[in-house]
Amino acid sequence: MADKDYYELLGVSKNSTKEDIKKAYKKLALKYHPDRAPEDKKQEYEEKFKEISAAAAVLGDEKKRRQYDQFGSSSFEGGQQGFDFSDVMSQFRSGSFGDFGDIFDQIFGGGGSRGRSRARRGSDLLYEVALTLEEAAEGVEKTISLNKLEHCKTCHGKGATSFENCHHCHGSGYIKQTQRTAFGLFQQTGPCPYCHGKGELPRDSCSECAGEGFIRIKKELEVSIPAGVDNNMRLRVSGEGEIGENSGPAGDLYVQVHVSEHKYFKRSEDDLHITIPISFSQAVLGDEIDVPTIDGTATFKIPAGTSSETTFRMKGKGIRHLHSSGKGDQLVKVKIAVPEKITKKQKDLILQLKEEKPIKSFLQKIFGS
């Protein structure tokens, strides 16, 4: 079979970009749209349309374009790698060819398209869930409610409850088509455009799903969120996205967590930071105090002679590591709180302290005044 010059067919140069090709194809496809053909030129327009579609399908795909540049158009004919336009034809026969978006996706969206009969993976879904810091630290089970597509149970996703053999392809799902073009006869076996390769045609339309085969339902799902998740992390729940088309696999569900701000704790990776007010006497003499932690309280020993703004590390009191064992630390910053009101007795004692030289210099050391 003679080689066709796909570049010439689309009127683009050998160096044109995918965008140029798309544009050129769109222009020609609109011109030769079989719906616009004069009565006596229907056949001619249809042939032309097929040719430019085949050319665009090859040049619009990087891999096929390279193959074409190297071996010419004959390397695509009759094989699986060419463009299957029986689907394109069926689309405008069924009157759904008004929108060029579909056809573009089919041609430029990837190789070997079989259109509606092709198995297609379902879309992924994203669900956002709000967690408290405690929930993120300990892990939690969340029930999430999704509005998602599921196969219709009444027709088992087929869109109809009774079927008959497709009389166009005699139930095989495939049709051999011979096209006469300026370059010779062109024979191709492709999926039957009437039954979309299924070999059977519906006898009715499922009333539950209006013949779609799927319905949008509310589905509740238990999601187990592991201990250690951090703000904006996404967890993948495999197979819980939208259903696939034509027995394609379902998409995945992504659960994005939002961890809310905590009243006392600031998180930095798996460490937690907290600021604790202590009294001047606790700082000077030392003390044992209860410090809040993410899972309760823990005893913490303030050493004697602690300056304000000193940070202490409580090992293993932080957040559990997500991908390994162990936990982060809790960092405790102590701040000496100065009381706004004091009793007469306290005032006298502090005045006494003020007279003591060594303490005075100690205070100077702390506060620098």
Kindly list the residues in this chain that would bind Zn ion in the complex (CB under 5 A): 152, 154-155, 166, 168-169, 192, 194-195, 206, 208-209
Distances (CA, A) of 298 to 96, 265, 317: 69, 15, 9
Q: Which residues pair with 215 in a beta bridge?
A: 150
SS3 label, residue 140 = strand
Shortest gap between Cβ of 11 and Zn ion (angstroms)? 36
Nearer to Zn ion, 163 or 254 (CB): 163
Shortest gap between Cβ of 166 and Zn ion (angstroms)? 3
Tell me which residue of 73, 49, 246, 87 sits closest to 174, measured CA to CA: 87
Q: 222 near 143, Cβ under 8 Å?
A: yes
Nearer to Zn ion, 176 or 301 (CB): 176
Nearer to Zn ion, 48 or 148 (CB): 148
Nearer to Zn ion, 31 or 176 (CB): 176
Shortest gap between Cβ of 216 and Zn ion (angstroms)? 12
Please spell the DSSP secondary structure of 150-165, one letter per residue: EE-TTTTTSS-S-EEE
Shortest gap between Cβ of 140 and Zn ion (angstroms)? 37
Q: Which residue has the tokens 């094989």?
A: 79
Q: Hey, how many other C-beta atoms are within 10 angstroms of the C-beta on 292?
A: 16
Tell me which residue of 142, 104, 105 sits closest to 221, measured CA to CA: 142
Nearer to Zn ion, 154 or 308 (CB): 154
φ, ψ for residue 221 (rounded to 5)? -140, 135
Distances (CA, A) of 205 to 27, 133, 158, 163: 37, 51, 9, 10
Shortest gap between Cβ of 87 and Zn ion (angstroms)? 12
Shortest gap between Cβ of 155 and Zn ion (angstroms)? 3
Please spell the DSSP secondary structure of 299-330, one letter per residue: EEEEPTTPPTTEEEEETT-SPBPSSSSSB--E
Buried b (16+ CB within 10 A) or exposed e, 297-328: eeebebeeebebebebebeebbbbeeeeeebb
Tell me which residue of 29, 37, 32, 35 sits closest to 60, measured CA to CA: 29
Nearer to Zn ion, 195 or 272 (CB): 195
Shortest gap between Cβ of 248 and Zn ion (angstroms)? 18
For residue 135, what are the contacts with CB-CB under 8 A and spacing of at least 6? 225, 259
What's the CA gap between 136 and 233, in Å, rounded?
11
Nearer to Zn ion, 194 or 362 (CB): 194
Shortest gap between Cβ of 162 and Zn ion (angstroms)? 12
Distances (CA, A) of 129 to 126, 147, 149: 10, 15, 20
Nearer to Zn ion, 192 or 243 (CB): 192
Nearer to Zn ion, 24 or 192 (CB): 192
Shortest gap between Cβ of 262 and Zn ion (angstroms)? 48
